[in-house]
Amino acid sequence: VSTGPGDPELMTIKAMRCIENCQVIAAPRTKGKNCMALDIVKGIMDIDDKEILYLDFAMQKNEKVLESTHRKQADMIEEYLAAGKDVAMLNIGDASLYGTFCYVRELIEADGYGTKTIAGVTSFCAVAAELGQSLTRMDEPLTIIPGSYEYVEQMLEQDGTKVIMKSGNALSEVKRILEEKGMSDRSAMVANCGLHNQRVYKDIKKSEDDEGYFVTILIK
Q: pLDDT tens across 142-189, in order?
A: 999 987 777 788 899 999 999 999 776 788 888 999 999 999 999 999
DSSP string, the chain: -B-BSS-GGGS-HHHHHHHHH-SEEEEEE-TT---HHHHHHHTT---TTSEEEEEE---S--HHHHHHHHHHHHHHHHHHHHTT--EEE-BSB-TTSS-THHHHHHHHHHTT----------HHHHHHHHHT--S--TT--EEEEETT-TTHHHHTTSSSEEEEE--GGGHHHHHHHHHHTT-GGGEEEEESTTSTT-EEESSGGGS-S---S-EEEEE-
Assess whether pLDDT exceeds 80 at residue 33.
no
Q: Is the pLDDT of residue 59 over 70?
A: no
Q: What is the pLDDT of residue 212?
A: 83
Residue 36 pLDDT greater than 80, yes or no: yes
Among 165, 118, 108, CA closest to 142: 165
- Identify the pLDDT of residue 72: 95
Q: How far apart are the C-alpha atoms of 95 and 89, rounded to whole Å?
A: 10
* CA 31 to chain CA centroid, nearest Å: 16
What pLDDT score was predicted for residue 121?
97
